[in-house]
Amino acid sequence: MKQPVKSWLIAAAVASTLAIPGVSHSNADVEKLTKDPKNWAIWGGDYAGTRYSKLDQINNKNVKELQVAWTFSTGVLRGHEGGPLVVNDVLYIHTPFPNKVYAIDQNDQSILWTYAPTQNAEETIPVMCCDTVNRGLSYAEGKIFLQQADTTLVALDAKTGKEVWKVQNGDPKTGMTNTQAPVVMKDKVFTGISGGEFGVRGFLAAYSIKDGSLAWKAYSTGPDDEVKLNPEKTMTWTDGKMAPIGKDSSLKTWEGDQWKIGGGTTWGWYSYDPDLNLVYYGSGNPSTWNPTQRPGDNKWSMTIWARDVDTGEAKWVYQMTPHDEWDYDGINEMVLLDLPMKDKAGKEHKKLLVHFDRNGFGYTLDRVSGELLVAEKFDKAVNWATHVDMRTGRPQVNPQYSTEQGGEDKATGAGPDGKPGTADDDHVCPAALGSKDQQPVAFSPRTNLVYIPGNHVCMTYEPFEVEYTAGQPYVGATLNMYPAGKDVKTGQKNGSTNLGVFIAWDPTTGKIVWAKDEPFSVWSGAVATAGDVVFYGTLEGYLKAVDAKTGEELYKFKTPSGIIGNVNTWTHNGKQYVGVLSGIGGWAGIGMAAGLQGETEGLGAVGAYKSLDKFTQLGGTLTVFALPGKK
């Protein structure tokens, strides 16, 4: 680890650990930092995950004048997801494996310190599903928290970069890895686990921010005590109301001991309501991808969770895709909004949770009770289900696009002869990477719209028999992916070849307000601002700014590599900046990042994005933008 060269510069720049009187249900330091828009101190900008900034120096009138202020090379050539943290004028960035961390002085862009962990590449990289990405850092009380790929959770001194403590969160030998950004809530730092494609049993874990000791761990599948479910008090949506889940709700939905290798991993984003003291997150796909090998609903994979931060006990759960047949991971972010709306019975709701799932449905729930309020397609090309039954909460599967028919494995998206389909056939929509993957949305309270960076991709899906061996792939399906060839707002065939879309959505009605097609998937996280601008990045490498009300493109600039990172904004010396990590990779860019060429490699993504190398190349760069003028 490189020793700090300007520690005296940071001494005044890192937030103090003094508590704020009257704040009892959050981490006071994080709460204070996130309320000041000069910082970007947590993945979503705030605990609610809105990715909204009150800054308006850059607005829809002057954004066209934006210029590159400075750049920084990370020195790593794999996919760069996540985004920079800015805490009291110090900028912290991370890299994919080997998960370096840099603290940067914004005055002259010099490196204050570097943390370069030692990890076993031969042991870790082969069990990382979809590139060697990392989604970011967390900060609280003078510490930077890094979740390494090899499952080591590390706390670093924010002034020096020295290790304060570290703890092992899993075991790569069994297929466990980590890619998500940890989040600090109260006196705990929360992290999950990756490895659903290796039969890993998912969990959420809470560690003490003081010393790394384990406070609690709650699994996604298994016995009630290990999943931290109360059969009489944990509620779920059924028959048009909330009801207790009952005893052994998970065990009853798996055959034998399959739950032990059942997936439900937790590699997405975590949100927090300090008033309710609840953490919200999603669990991923069941293992294996071959549904005929795991009959039943496979609870509680593919689920939205609301857990008590202190104890881990689940207050309510909602399973979006029971008995998943398409790898529609449920890990996407939960956005917490305070918007008034009425359900169909006329009951008023204000504390909402909004979630855009891989399965193509946008959900709005009451985050206090777990009641289901909205479940509508945010891409009308979605065809695997006709709709969600609002009384049962279950999607109504279209038999034509089931990957399991008659108890036998079947290639879906098949042609009239029953054989695997071609690009001209009507495929399963969306593809396994979903109508939206992990790339987080943004919300603007000025428009009351959510802005969705999305995919517009369909697939053929052919399951096959697979046996479980610890540390070996446990997938059991072959995929090909194609452009949807349909209109996003109507679902009608139109022959379009766009693989991506950027959507404005009304979370109270479940309606698309406007949609903007993109040639490739929009794999970056968005940010909305008080200047009525929404920023996002494209796989070709463009940073784009659009009008929050109309979607009109106002600005674009091509960065050195494809963007799969999240766009963040902050101020330094009174000037607003916008920053994004570029570096092609992730699932959509895995072909380029890992040098794969087979059409079905990269779990089906390589064939769909094979032309991407004509528009961008590998590279890891932070690009920071500002309006021209005095610093």
- By annotation, the residues acting in catalysis are 327
Measured CA to CA, the distance from residue 301 to residue 222 in angstroms comes to 11
Nearest to 385 by CA among 435, 343, 423, 420: 435
Taking residue 35's Cβ as centre, other Cβ atoms within 10 Å add up to 12
CB of 27 within 8 A of CB of 47? no
Q: How many CA atoms lie within 13 A of 462 on its CB side?
A: 12
Question: Under DSSP, is residue 315 helix (H, G, I), strand (E, B) or coil?
Answer: strand
Q: Which residues of 114-144 are buried (b: 16+ CB within 10 A; e: fewer)?
A: bbebebeeeebbebbbbbbbbbbbbbbbbbb
Q: Which two tokens stand for residue 504?
A: 């404005």
Burial class, 396, CB count within 10 angstroms (exposed 0-12 / middle 13-18 / buried 19+): exposed
Q: What is the DSSP letter of 286?
A: B
Place of tokens 């949305």: 441
Measured CA to CA, the distance from residue 561 to residue 76 in angstroms comes to 12
Task: Order the strands of the 303-308 sheet from edge to edge.
Answer: 241-244, 235-238, 314-319, 303-308, 278-282, 271-273
Measured CA to CA, the distance from residue 201 to residue 262 in angstroms comes to 5
Measured CA to CA, the distance from residue 336 to residue 49 in angstroms comes to 7
Measured CA to CA, the distance from residue 502 to residue 523 in angstroms comes to 10
> Under 8 Å CB-to-CB from 86, ≥6 apart: which residues?
38, 39, 40, 41, 92, 106, 568, 570, 572
Measured CA to CA, the distance from residue 276 to residue 528 in angstroms comes to 26
User: Across the strands, what pairs with 297?
Assistant: none
Length in residues, the chain: 631
Nearest to 132 by CA among 191, 181, 77, 88: 77
Amino acid identity at 364: T
Main-chain phi, psi angles of 109, to 5 degrees:
60, 25
Q: Which residues of 593-614 are buried (b: 16+ CB within 10 A; e: fewer)?
A: bbebeebbbbbbbbbbbeebee
CB of 362 within 8 A of CB of 378? yes
Main-chain phi, psi angles of 127, to 5 degrees:
-105, 15
Q: How many CA atoms lie within 13 A of 374 on its CB side?
A: 24
Task: Order the strands of the 90-94 sheet from edge to edge.
Answer: 85-87, 90-94, 101-105, 110-115
Q: Which two tokens stand for residue 355?
A: 């979630």
Q: Determine how β-strand 533-537 pairs with β-strand 527-529.
A: antiparallel
Q: Which two tokens stand for residue 94?
A: 């991370």
